C-alpha cells in the first residue's frame, strides 16, 4: 500500500489491486461555506488534447473508487478532475457519526461543484469542461445544469438518481416522513438498511452494484485498507433533501431549465435507482436524451468489460464526436 500526500495532508490511497494512475495531484479546497473538500487532478495522456472531464461520484463513494475510470478518460486525451462531496470520502464529515450520509440541503452539492469549478477547474485544468456524474452525482449534475449553462459544455450521466427503484410513486410520502422527523430533531439519525453494510466478499452474490467479481473485490480491498472512506446508511435529513431533489425533476418546467446537451445512461438491471424514472425524464429533455444498457447493474463504470465497453462507446459518441 502506498499513500500520496500533499503538503497540507491530503492523501490518496493506492493499493496493488487498485493502483492510482500516474501523475496524480491531490489536495484540499474550501467551499464558500467553509467545508473542506478533498480533490485530485490527473493530466491527459497522448498527443490529443480534448479538455477536462470533471467526474462527480455517487453517495458513499470516494476518489479511489474511480482510478480505473480516470485512466480510461486519460487514454482518450482528457485531463481528469474529481473531488469527494461534503460528508464522504476524504472530505469533511458533517456530523458526529462519520459513517452516516448527511447533507443539510441538496443544493449544498451545487455549492461544492460550483466552488470546485471556480477554484480548481478554471485555474488548473484545460478546457473545454465535461461533467460526468454517477447516481447521486448525476442528480447533482442535473441540478447544476439548471443553475448555470456556461460552466460545462456537455453532461454525461451514469444511472442518475432521479428516482429510487421500487419507489416511483412514493417519493412525496417518504419525503414528508423524512422532513417531519428532521423537523422534530431526528434528522441525524440513520435510516438503517441491510444494503448499507460495509461490503465484503460474502456480499458479492446478488449484490445490486456490479456483476464483475474482480471490480467488487477491488472496492472491498480499498475500504479494508482505509476504513475512513466508508459511508453507510443515509440519515433522514439526507433522505429528505434527496427526495426533494428527485421530486423537482418531475416538474413540467424542469427539462426546459436544462440548456446543456445531456446524455443519461440507465442500467437495465438497476436495483438502486429507478430506470423508468430516467427513461421518463429522458423523453422530456429538450437538449438531451437517454439510453438503457441492457442487463447492467447500477455501477456502470464498475461493471463487466462488456457493459463498460458500451458505456465508453456512448461517451465517445456523445463527447468526443460531439453528436447529440
CATH code of the domain in which 200 resides: 3.40.50.1820
pLDDT at residue 169 greater than cutoff 50:
yes
Query: How high is the pLDDT of residue 216?
Result: 98
Contact in structure between 130 and 51 (CB atoms under 8 Å): yes
- H runs (alpha helix) in the chain: 67-75, 107-116, 122-124, 136-147, 171-181, 213-225, 236-248, 254-257, 275-284, 305-315
User: What are the backbone dihedrals phi and psi of residue 138, each rounded to the nearest 5 degrees, phi first?
Assistant: -70, -40
Helix/strand/coil for 81: strand
CA 74 vs. chain centroid, Å, equals 18
CA 313 vs. chain centroid, Å, equals 20
pLDDT at residue 308 greater than cutoff 70:
yes
Contact in structure between 302 and 211 (CB atoms under 8 Å): no
Query: What is the domain range of residue 46?
Result: 2-320
Query: How high is the pLDDT of residue 323?
Result: 41
Q: Can you tell me the distance from the alpha carbon of 162 to that of 282, in angstroms, rounded to the nearest whole number?
A: 11
Q: What is the DSSP string of 8-70?
A: T--EEEEBTTBPPPTT-EEEEEE-TT--EEEEEEE---SS----EEEEE--TT--GGGGHHHH
Q: Tell me the average pLDDT of the chain.
A: 94
pLDDT at residue 38 greater than cutoff 80:
yes
Query: How high is the pLDDT of residue 149?
Result: 86
Q: What is the pLDDT of residues 79-114, one digit of tens each?
A: 999 999 999 999 999 999 999 999 999 999 999 999
User: What are the backbone dihedrals phi and psi of residue 90, each rounded to the nearest 5 degrees, phi first?
Assistant: -95, 10
Q: How confident is the model at residue 324 (pLDDT cuts 50, 70, 90)?
A: very low
Query: How high is the pLDDT of residue 194?
Result: 62
Q: Can you tell me the distance from the alpha carbon of 101 to that of 189, in angstroms, rounded to the nearest whole number?
A: 10
pLDDT at residue 227 greater than cutoff 60:
yes
pLDDT at residue 13 greater than cutoff 80:
yes
Query: How high is the pLDDT of residue 147?
Result: 94
Beta strands 129-134 and 154-158: pairing type? parallel
Q: How confident is the model at residue 185 (pLDDT cuts 50, 70, 90)?
A: very high
Q: Which of 43-47, 177-181, 296-300 has the lowest mean pLDDT?
A: 43-47
- CA pseudo-torsion sign 218, 224, 228, 234: positive
- CA pseudo-torsion sign 26, 132, 240, 167: negative
Q: What is the pLDDT of residues 238-277, one digit of tens each?
A: 999 999 999 999 999 999 999 999 999 999 999 999 999 9
Q: How confident is the model at residue 186 (pLDDT cuts 50, 70, 90)?
A: very high
In the chain, the number of structural domains is 1
Residue range 59-84: mean pLDDT, rounded: 97
Contact in structure between 236 and 124 (CB atoms under 8 Å): no
Q: Write out the three cell numbers for 110.
A: 451545487
Query: How high is the pLDDT of residue 166?
Result: 85
Q: Write out the three cell numbers for 224.
A: 479494508
pLDDT at residue 141 greater than cutoff 60:
yes
pLDDT at residue 140 greater than cutoff 90:
yes
Amino acid at each position: 500500500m502506498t499513500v500520496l500526500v500533499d503538503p497540507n495532508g491530503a492523501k490518496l490511497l493506492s493499493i496493488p489491486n487498485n493502483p492510482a494512475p500516474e501523475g496524480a495531484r491531490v489536495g484540499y479546497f474550501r467551499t464558500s461555506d467553509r467545508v473542506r473538500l478533498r480533490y485530485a487532478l490527473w493530466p491527459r495522456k497522448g498527443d490529443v488534447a480534448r479538455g477536462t472531464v470533471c467526474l462527480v461520484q455517487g453517495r458513499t463513494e470516494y476518489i479511489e473508487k474511480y482510478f480505473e475510470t480516470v485512466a480510461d478518460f486519460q487514454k482518450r486525451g482528457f485531463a481528469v478532475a474529481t473531488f469527494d462531496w461534503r460528508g464522504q470520502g476524504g472530505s469533511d464529515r458533517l456530523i458526529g457519526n462519520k459513517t452516516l450520509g448527511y447533507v443539510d440541503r441538496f443544493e449544498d452539492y451545487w455549492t461544492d461543484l460550483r466552488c470546485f469549478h471556480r477554484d480548481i477547474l478554471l485555474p488548473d485544468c484545460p478546457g473545454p469542461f465535461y461533467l460526468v456524474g454517477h447516481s447521486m452525482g448525476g442528480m447533482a449534475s442535473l441540478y447544476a445544469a439548471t443553475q448555470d449553462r456556461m460552466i460545462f459544455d456537455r453532461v454525461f450521466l451514469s444511472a442518475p438518481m432521479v428516482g429510487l427503484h421500487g419507489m416511483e410513486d412514493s417519493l412525496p410520502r417518504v419525503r414528508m416522513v423524512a422532513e417531519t422527523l428532521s423537523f422534530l430533531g431526528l434528522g441525524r439519525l440513520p435510516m438503517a438498511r441491510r444494503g448499507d453494510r460495509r461490503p465484503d466478499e460474502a456480499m458479492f452474490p446478488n449484490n445490486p452494484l456490479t456483476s464483475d467479481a474482480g471490480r467488487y473485490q477491488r472496492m472491498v480491498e480499498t475500504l479494508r485498507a482505509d476504513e475512513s472512506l466508508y459511508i453507510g446508511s443515509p440519515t433522514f435529513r439526507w433522505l429528505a433533501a434527496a427526495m426533494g431533489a428527485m421530486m423537482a425533476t418531475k416538474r413540467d418546467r424542469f427539462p426546459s431549465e436544462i440548456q446543456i446537451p445531456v446524455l443519461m445512461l440507465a442500467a437495465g438491471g438497476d436495483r438502486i435507482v429507478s430506470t423508468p424514472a430516467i427513461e421518463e425524464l429522458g423523453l422530456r429533455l429538450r437538449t438531451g436524451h437517454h439510453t438503457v444498457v441492457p442487463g447492467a447493474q447500477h455501477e456502470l463504470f464498475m461493471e463487466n468489460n462488456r457493459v463498460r465497453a458500451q458505456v465508453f462507446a456512448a461517451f465517445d459518441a456523445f463527447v468526443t464526436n460531439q453528436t447529440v
